[in-house]
Amino acid sequence: MEVKRVHDTMGEVIIPEGAYYGAQTARSLEHFPPVRGIMPLPVVYAIATIKKAAAEVNAQKGLLSAEKARSIAKVVDEIHDGRFDDQFPLSIWQTGSGTQTNMNVNEVIANRGNELSGQTLLHPNDDVNRSQSSNDVFPSAIHLATLLALREEFVPEADALVASLDAFIAREGETLKTGRTHLQDATPITVGQEASAWRTAIDEGKRRIVEASRELEALPIGGTAVGTGLNAPEGFDGDICAVLSRETELSLRPLENKFYGLSMKSPVLRVHGTLKAFAADLNKIVQDVRFLSCGPRCGIGEYRIPANEPGSSIMPGKVNPTQVEAASMIAFQVMANDFAVTLAATSGQLQLNTYMPLLIRNVLESIALLALALNGLRRFLFDGMAVNAVRMGALLDRSLMRVTALSPVIGYEAAAEIAHRADENDTTLREEALKSGRLSAEELDDLLDPRRMIGR
């Protein structure tokens, strides 16, 4: 492999001949091997977006030539096109401020810009990093990357699953079935009522995540090293947020207290908390489906799930709830990620949180995993799920808890006696109620009609 020598303030290092990154990236690769986790590209792209916006503002303020600003912008556009993804190889497990990744981006932009211009036009620190510090760039990139991932990955999949559930309710919702509490028979409901809880959980969970994420629209950029804004020109924070808003189509604004923005990560923690709550609801939904579709012959078997793949290497014809299991594992991983995010947010020292790579790694993973789960559940579960109306009707007919409708007429104790006798004799409620002599056949048919018990 051909190599070349490059230098930084600590001396010379050797890097591959074709590399666009520089000495500081090489030192990070040496001291922090990229094992089990490379800095997510959405973070790199967010940092690059900040560099382009900073160059534009610095040029407006006379701190950077128009030629340099154009060169930075051109390289950032190339980065966003994915042309240099392999030039960002650094490990998650690096300095907790993300300084090495910030410099990795600075070096690639400077070296590629110099290549394009045919001269030493850009310096990674003096030009690409002008008016910035890793300490305000990286937390701002965390906000941007999270907001963009939610908008582009999570929200579309959540909306699509809500639409799938709406379609399921429209085609199957009128079917009557037995409700259950404590895993015991309860009063009747419809399929639509049962599924409406799932639909609302997805839609409401998405709404709360989006609502919490609006706090991330306030960026600490302009705080530079410790929050004072040293080496950033007056008005830099507002101007760069305006440019970033235009570039990303987000509603971004400067964070008022940048000391808070650099040292505290509770806004990100709050967003991930809503992701954890969403994962908890998602796990409850898929466990409901697992339970109600178990069988098909020897379980409850009220729902028929799609047969996506063979379920057993030894039992022919077996179908397993694989999408349920995948989504449940994802939910558990998101809950585990929340613990890591919590530890990262509660740590750090004085004017800087130094656990930011860990934090954003887990946030982005949770968003991506939840989007994956929602996609799979929509395409391979709910779009093809059907009800077993015969099974639902048979179970409903044998349910003892329709006796609840008799209680206001004959009293709680008399109704309970009828239910106990039906259970002991393995008969129906109607049979035992007729034997009691308390109600006529016509009265029973009216009172025990499940359509009267579903709240409409």
**Which residues carry out catalysis?**
182, 312
d(CA 383, CA 164): 6
d(CA 160, CA 168): 12
Decide if 259 contacts 223 (C-beta within 8 A): yes
d(CA 354, CA 351): 10
Contacts (Cβ under 8 Å, ≥6 apart) of 424: none
Q: What is the dihedral of CA 151, 152, 157, 162, to 10 degrees?
A: 40
User: What are the residue ranges of helices labelled H in 10-133?
Assistant: 23-31, 41-60, 66-80, 99-117
Strands (DSSP E) contained in 277-373 are: 303-304
Phi and psi at residue 109, to the nearest 5°: -65, -45
Contacts (Cβ under 8 Å, ≥6 apart) of 348: 96, 263, 265, 354, 355
